[in-house]
């Protein structure tokens, strides 16, 4: 009994210690403390302790947690668990701190090895006291935090307002979406909804300043690419880690054909736009032919390889006469509308909104059609999909081509908006960003992709201080989503029949189907 309590306490304690030491080493606690300090107008040291205290509360509640098949432990046992958790984590954290502070005291510049341990950040941790005192404080803080956390967790477990969080969430969601869904079921309701949405989107860019138009425009480009990759990964189940290739094709097509260097072709934006999209789609199909027969995980690596090849090729001095090498392409043309320049961030915002709406319209139609069903069938069980008469190779090529076209469109808008493109715009992280948008939002779900783009590309713009930790948290998010919620923020719901039946009733009745089996063969 006691042994199992100690074990559970140790487990929570070690988890807390690892989290705190890790945050210490990557400098995140200080950053978070800064944010708290700015938001709450508090001293940074106090903010840091508040953050650490909250973490300890959480660990304490973890230590007191009871599994389903276990009897609720008595108070002393709960406190034992929390005590063990607090003390063990406190010791680890305290010792780590003691060691680093002592080294710091001896005049060793820790930053040469551990980049985030600047003197300022160490002062924040040491509270301006001696290493021993600071270490002692950081032993006590988790101990107290864990004990309080356990008491709170135990005391509030049966409180009436503690329903399962997900149930409350879905109740909220229901309250919002139900009336909308009801409205969407009637024809006039739909028209009204679309009109409202359209007006909103039309007016929005006018109300925003350039910064927000630019930022939301970037989010929009990621929505665009996310929707494209969603066709490939979410619907057809093909993990493409080289999606950046098609983004690059779009950008470089507009760059090479409209910029003064290196070829001085100076074509018009509107002529190049369809060419670039088409070219991206064609290259998608061409790259797809040799690799789409491969099983999923091979495909991931090969596409990753493609992504690296394109960056190396664009960067190569050997090809600089064609692509301008590492210098990139400046002065890319921007569009004009009836002779007037149409290239401000606001103008691009309109173009992006329009493109996103077009792409949503197209993918929504596609995924509920024969073509989309074929993709999903391939994702679910490729062998059976073939046995159903689906030509899996052409279906996959189609998915690849469509996904590539959307990325190409994104690339054109991106390059033309900033009037520059270069090889460094096209590293692996672009592919990973888009993948994260799709996964976090919910594979195969259009609203999910939009939400994912806002969360992953929009939030970091708001929380500038956390920028350094953006990609780190993408990685953690990918793992966490797979382990905890593989279906994403807004999972795709399989189409319900109700709406279909309503539509079928409007159109002429379906042909009688009694002798289904034979079709015309009889």
Partner 1 sequence: MSGLLNIRQLTKHFGGLLAVDRLDLVIPEKSIVSVIGPNGAGKTTLFNCITGFYDIDSGEMEFAGELLNGLTPDAVVRLGIARTYQNIRSFPNMSAVENVLVGMHSHLHTGALSAALHLPGAVREESEALGKALSLLEYVGLKGKADTLARNMPYGEQRRLEIARALASQPRLILLDEPTAGMNPRETSETTSLVKRLRDDLGITVLLIEHDMRVVMGISERVTVLDYGVKISEGTPQEVQHDRRVVEAYLGRGAAAGLESPATA
Partner 2 sequence: MPESALPARTRKRITPYQIAQVVIGLGFLAFVAWRLYEVLVVERTYGPDTWLKFAISGLIIGSVYALITIGYTLVYAILRMINFAHSEVFMVGAFAGFFVFEALKSLPVGTGEHAFIEVYPIPSIILGFVAGIATSMVTGVALERIAYRPLRGAPRLVPLISAVGASIFLQNAAQLMFGPQRRTFVNLPALDRNLGWTLTVGEKPVLITYTGVFTFILAIVLLISLYLIVQRTRLGRAMRAVSENKQTAALMGIDVDGVISRTFAISGVLAGAAGVMWGIHYGQIHAYVGFIPGIKAFTAAVLGGIGNIPGAMLGSMTLGLIESLGPGGLGMDFQLKDVIAFSILVLVLIFRPSGILGEVLSEEKL
Interacting residues with partner 1 (CB under 8 A): 362, 365-366, 369-374, 376-377, 380-381, 383-392, 398, 402, 494-497, 500, 503-504, 507, 509-511, 513-519, 521-522
* Least Cβ distance, residue 13 to partner 2 (angstroms): 17
Query: How far is the C-alpha of 15 from the C-alpha of 59, rounded, in Å?
Result: 8
* Position among 54, 308, 327, 454 found at the interface with partner 2 (CB under 8 A): 308
* Position among 393, 463, 499, 502 found at the interface with partner 2 (CB under 8 A): 393
* Least Cβ distance, residue 444 to partner 1 (angstroms): 9
Nearest to 84 by CA among 141, 157, 11: 11
The distance of Cα 358 from the centroid of its chain, to the nearest Å, equals 22
> Does residue number 376 form part of the binding site for partner 2 (CB under 8 A)?
no
* Least Cβ distance, residue 517 to partner 1 (angstroms): 3
* Position among 41, 67, 68, 113 found at the interface with partner 2 (CB under 8 A): 113
* Exposure b/e, 244-272, CB count within 10 A at least 16 = b: bbbbbbbbbbbbbbbbeebbeeeeebeeb
Nearest to 239 by CA among 283, 291, 311, 310: 291
Query: How far is the C-alpha of 6 from the C-alpha of 198, rounded, in Å?
Result: 60
C-alpha distances out from residue 521 to 335, 388, 512, Å: 56, 19, 16
| Residues of this chain, 286-305, that bind partner 2 according to CB under 8 A | 289-291, 293-294, 296-298, 300-302, 304-305
* Least Cβ distance, residue 417 to partner 2 (angstroms): 27
* Exposure b/e, 283-307, CB count within 10 A at least 16 = b: bbbebbeebbeeeeeebbebbbebb
The residue count for binding partner 2 (CB under 8 A) is 57
* Least Cβ distance, residue 445 to partner 1 (angstroms): 12
Q: Which does 341 bind (CB under 5 to 8 A by kind): partner 2, partner 1, none?
A: none
> Does residue number 97 form part of the binding site for partner 2 (CB under 8 A)?
no
Q: Which does 26 bind (CB under 5 to 8 A by kind): partner 2, partner 1, none?
A: partner 2
Stretch that binds partner 2, among 19-27, 213-221, 343-351, 489-497 (CB under 8 A): 19-27
| Helical spans, DSSP H, in 157-268 | 165-185, 187-207, 210-229, 244-258
- Please tell me whether residue 250 adopts helix, strand or coil conformation: helix
Stretch that binds partner 2, among 140-148, 160-168, 209-217, 308-316 (CB under 8 A): 308-316
Q: Which does 300 bind (CB under 5 to 8 A by kind): partner 1, partner 2, none?
A: partner 2
> Does residue number 468 form part of the binding site for partner 2 (CB under 8 A)?
yes
Site string (315-354) toward partner 2, x via CB under 8 A: xxxx------------------------------------
Indicate the residue among 354 and 472 with the shorter CB distance to partner 2.
472
Q: Which does 259 bind (CB under 5 to 8 A by kind): partner 2, partner 1, none?
A: none
The answer for residues whose C-beta is within 8 angstroms of residue 398's C-beta and 6 or more apart is 371
* Least Cβ distance, residue 293 to partner 1 (angstroms): 13
* Least Cβ distance, residue 479 to partner 1 (angstroms): 22
* Exposure b/e, 90-128, CB count within 10 A at least 16 = b: bbbbbebbbebbebbeeeeebeeeeebbeeebbebbbee
> Does residue number 214 form part of the binding site for partner 2 (CB under 8 A)?
no
Query: How far is the C-alpha of 259 from the C-alpha of 16, rounded, in Å?
Result: 54
3-state secondary structure 396-407: HHHHHHHHHHHH
Indicate the residue among 290 and 509 with the shorter CB distance to partner 1.
509
Q: Where are the beta strands (DSSP E) in 360-437?
A: 420-421
Q: Which does 71 bind (CB under 5 to 8 A by kind): partner 2, partner 1, none?
A: none
Site string (423-442) toward partner 2, x via CB under 8 A: -----x---x--x---x---
Query: How far is the C-alpha of 451 from the C-alpha of 458, rounded, in Å?
Result: 10
Indicate the residue among 207 and 496 with the shorter CB distance to partner 1.
496
Confirm if 440 and 477 have CB atoms less than 8 A apart: yes
Nearest to 412 by CA among 314, 269, 313: 269
Site residues (CB under 8 A) for partner 2?
Answer: 22, 25-28, 111, 113-116, 233, 237, 239, 241, 289-291, 293-294, 296-298, 300-302, 304-306, 308-309, 312-313, 315-318, 383, 393, 428, 432, 435, 439, 468-469, 471-472, 474-483, 486
């Amino acid at each position: 009994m006691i042994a199992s309590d100690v074990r559970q306490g140790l487990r929570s304690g070690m988890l807390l210690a690892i989290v705190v030491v890790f945050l210490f080493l990557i400098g995140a606690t200080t950053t978070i403390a800064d944010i708290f300090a700015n938001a709450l107008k508090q001293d940074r040291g106090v903010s840091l302790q508040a953050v650490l205290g909250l973490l300890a509360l959480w660990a304490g509640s973890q230590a007191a947690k009871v599994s389903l098949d276990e009897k609720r432990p008595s108070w002393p046992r709960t406190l034992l668990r929390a005590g063990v958790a607090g003390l063990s984590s406190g010791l680890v954290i305290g010792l780590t701190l003691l060691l680093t502070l002592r080294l710091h005291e001896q005049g060793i510049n820790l930053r040469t090895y551990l980049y985030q341990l600047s003197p300022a950040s160490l002062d924040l941790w040491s509270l301006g006291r001696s290493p021993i005192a600071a270490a002692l404080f950081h032993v006590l803080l988790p101990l107290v935090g864990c004990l309080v956390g356990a008491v709170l967790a135990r005391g509030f477990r049966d409180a009436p307002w503690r329903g399962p969080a997900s149930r409350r969430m879905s109740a909220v969601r229901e309250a919002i979406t139900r009336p909308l869904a009801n409205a969407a079921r009637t024809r006039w309701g739909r028209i009204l909804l679309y009109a409202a949405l359209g007006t909103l989107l039309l007016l929005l860019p006018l109300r925003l300043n350039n910064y927000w138009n630019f930022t939301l425009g970037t989010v929009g480009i990621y929505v665009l690419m996310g929707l494209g990759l969603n066709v490939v990964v979410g619907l057809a189940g093909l993990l493409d880690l080289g999606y950046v290739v098609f983004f690059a094709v779009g950008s470089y097509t507009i760059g090479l054909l409209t910029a003064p260097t290196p070829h001085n072709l100076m074509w018009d934006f509107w002529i190049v736009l369809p060419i670039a999209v088409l070219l991206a789609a064609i290259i998608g199909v061409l790259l797809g032919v040799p690799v789409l027969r491969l099983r999923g995980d091979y495909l991931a690596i090969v596409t990753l390889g493609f992504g690296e090849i394109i960056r190396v090729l664009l960067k190569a001095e050997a090809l600089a006469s064609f692509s301008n090498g590492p210098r990139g392409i400046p002065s890319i043309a921007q569009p004009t509308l009836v002779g007037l320049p149409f290239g401000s961030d606001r103008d691009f915002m309109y173009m992006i909104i329009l493109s996103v709406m077009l792409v949503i319209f197209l993918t929504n139609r596609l995924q509920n059609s024969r073509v989309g069903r074929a993709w999903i069938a391939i994702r679910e069980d490729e062998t059976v999909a073939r046995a159903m008469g689906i030509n899996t190779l052409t279906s996959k090529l189609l998915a690849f081509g469509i996904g590539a076209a959307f990325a190409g469109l994104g690339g054109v808008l991106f390059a033309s908006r900033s009037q520059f493109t270069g090889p460094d715009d096209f590293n692996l992280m672009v592919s990973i960003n888009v993948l994260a948008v799709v996964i976090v939002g919910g594979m195969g779900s259009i609203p999910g992709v939009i939400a994912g783009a806002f969360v992953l590309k929009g939030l970091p713009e708001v929380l500038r201080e956390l920028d350094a930790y953006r990609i780190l948290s993408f990685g953690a998010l990918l793992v966490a989503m797979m382990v905890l919620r593989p279906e994403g923020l807004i999972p795709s719901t399989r189409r319900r029949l109700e709406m279909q039946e309503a539509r079928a009733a409007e159109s002429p009745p379906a042909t009688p189907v009694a002798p289904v089996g034979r079709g015309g063969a009889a």
